[in-house]
Amino acid sequence: MNPPPIHIENLDFSYGPVSVLEKANLEIGDREFVSVVGPNGGGKTTLLKILLGLLEPRAGSASVYGETPILGRKWIGYLPQHSHLDSKFPVTALDVVLMGRLGKTRRLGFYSKTDRAIASNMLERVGLEKLSHRPLAALSGGQCQRVLIARALVTEPKLLLLDEPTSSLDDYVERELYDLLLELNKELTIVVVSHDVGFVSRYVEKVICVNRVVHVHPVSEISEDIIHDMYGEHVHMVRHDQEHGDG
């Protein structure tokens, strides 16, 4: 039996004396589509950084496809919450996507034909093949996010981690982006950090609630009471079986 994409066991993490994660246990299976939700400071981004090998747990363990996070990083495509791309910098969509090949290419300072072919293919997968040579500054917010997803995909991952990918997008563009992720989920395991519980519950199979402790719920179990307990305040919960635009 192949090891799961993500396995976390009795994991503790703290920043100095401040405990962020306590006795966290989590397993995510192959080609699952899950969302990580929780209040600010609850440990969501910390959890992703541990999976990326950027932070070391104080106790317990985390593995990616049976390997340590540092070794398993080669299987991960990552879209951080804040991607520092200056829209005024004179690069095209294709240039940005090719940046994702820097750790893969063998020729220092040059991209191979293979690199360019893979980058072009990933732009096509995210629906931007006709905009590959358009300057980054000329792209909309949603198009920029698709470019960044394509940049994550050129690493040829099996697991895609996205930290708040739609935080600055309007509802229509957000829906389009999640439709794209749903299509990618046919081949990839996808983990999305989001604050929009009602929206993402229409797409994901289960919700991972992180607020120092970790609880996993099937989407059908998510209720306003669970969200209230997690956030410490009332958060309007839109039923996942409602159509877009319903009141």
pLDDT per residue as tens, the chain (247 positions) = 889 999 999 999 999 999 999 999 999 999 999 999 888 888 999 999 999 999 999 999 999 999 999 999 999 999 987 666 666 678 899 999 999 888 765 555 678 889 999 999 999 999 999 999 999 889 988 898 899 999 999 999 999 999 988 877 788 888 899 999 999 999 999 999 987 777 788 889 899 999 999 989 888 777 777 666 666 554 444 433 333 333 3
Residue 81 located in a structural domain: yes
Q: What is the CATH number of the domain that holds 178?
A: 3.40.50.300
Residue 40 located in a structural domain: yes
User: pTM above the 0.95 mark?
Assistant: no
pLDDT at 137: 86
Residue 115 located in a structural domain: no
Residue 57 located in a structural domain: yes
Total of domains in the chain: 1
Residues 6 or more apart whose CB falls under 8 angstroms from that of 204 comprise: 33, 34, 35, 192, 219
Residue 164 located in a structural domain: yes
191: left (phi over 0), alpha (psi -120 to 50) or beta: beta
**DSSP code at position 135:** B
Report the SS3 class of residue 165: coil
Residue 119 located in a structural domain: no
Is residue 153 within 8 Å of residue 183, measured between CB atoms?
A: no
Domain interval for residue 15: 6-85+158-231
**At residue 67, what is the residue type?**
E
Residue 240 located in a structural domain: no
pLDDT at 53: 96
Residue 189 located in a structural domain: yes
Residues 6 or more apart whose CB falls under 8 angstroms from that of 13 comprise: 19, 20, 21, 43, 46, 50, 55, 57, 58
pLDDT at 233: 55
Long-range contacts of 133-140 (CB under 8 A, 24+ apart): 133/92, 133/93, 133/94, 134/92, 134/93, 135/90, 135/91, 135/92, 136/85, 136/87, 136/89, 136/91, 136/92, 136/93, 136/95, 136/96, 137/87, 137/88, 139/93, 140/173
Residues 6 or more apart whose CB falls under 8 angstroms from that of 109 comprise: none
pLDDT at 238: 41
State the distance between the two ends of the chain, measured CA to CA, in whole angstroms. Answer: 45
Report the SS3 class of residue 55: coil
